[in-house]
Amino acid sequence: MTIALHGYRYSVYSWIARLALHEKGVTYTWTEVDPFSENTPASYLAIHPFKRVPALVHDAFSVYETGAITRYADEAFDGPKLQPAEPRERARCNQILSIVDSYAYWPLVRRVFSHRVFRPALGRPVDESEVKRGLEAAPKVLAALEAAAGQGQYLTGKDLSLADVHLAPMIGYFVLAPEGLSLLQKHIRLSHWWSALSNRPALLATMPQLPQAPP
């Protein structure tokens, strides 16, 4: 059995896929793919025609789209179950996954993290208006996640689920911006959740090493 994950080292969605595999205890190989390169190998385009990341190849089976990858990893491999069996917890897990993709990714990662943290580290121009727009949108997103979170240790109850796996990397990037950390700390449930999850071994093992800001 061979399992290969193709991804971009800084991609939050690649981080999510890696985290899911680590939580399942799955051993895999990593192939670096830069989705921004003009010279994407034809072999990768045969796997992912839209030239994005990540993509998973398991023997002769390939799948792309992060939600499909993490659900497949949960169902195809041994290890702790990452999707709740109880219908309401499972619905809440899927709801949080949808919130993450539809409403959290763009303001938290593409606007705040990218322009406050990532682009300065690469020495690239920063658009402060993008940071402002992200910070304006973030409170509504965080409030929705606060309201959706259950009362257990994790977002959907007493066990880790894909809701935690998908949200944690987004929050991990968002709080690297001082303004992001300040906003998160206004939400008690999410703050407690992040304090515990941010020290989880799998999250620390998969956390990307970001470039160092130029002097």
CA separation for the pair 58, 185 (Å, rounded): 40
| Residue owning tokens 């830069």 | 34
pLDDT of 152: 84
pLDDT of 49: 97
CA separation for the pair 210, 122 (Å, rounded): 9
Dihedral in degrees, nearest 10, Cα atoms 200, 12, 151, 21: -60
pLDDT of 119: 96
CB count in 10 Å sphere of residue 27: 10
CA separation for the pair 152, 171 (Å, rounded): 19
pLDDT of 215: 67
pTM here is: 0.97
Name which of 15, 51, 39 is nearest 173 in CA terms. 15
Q: What does the angle CA 45 – CA 107 – CA 184 come to, to the nearest 5 degrees?
A: 125
CA separation for the pair 191, 185 (Å, rounded): 5
HSE at residue 46, side-chain half, CA atoms within 13 A, is: 6
Query: Could you tell me where the beta strands, DSSP code E, fall in the chain?
Result: 3-7, 29-32, 55-58, 61-64
Dihedral in degrees, nearest 10, Cα atoms 176, 197, 4, 13: -40
Q: What DSSP assignment string belongs to 30-78?
A: EEE--TT-S---HHHHHH-TT--S-EEEETTEEEESHHHHHHHHHHHS-
* pLDDT (tens place) for every residue of the chain, 215 residues total: 799 999 999 999 999 999 999 999 999 999 999 999 999 999 999 999 999 999 999 999 999 999 999 999 999 999 999 999 999 999 999 999 999 999 999 999 999 999 999 999 999 999 999 999 999 999 999 999 999 998 889 999 999 999 999 999 999 999 999 999 999 999 999 999 999 999 999 999 999 999 987 66
Name which of 196, 103, 96, 185 is nearest 152 in CA terms. 196
Structure tokens at 91: 């619905």
Structure tokens at 12: 């939050």
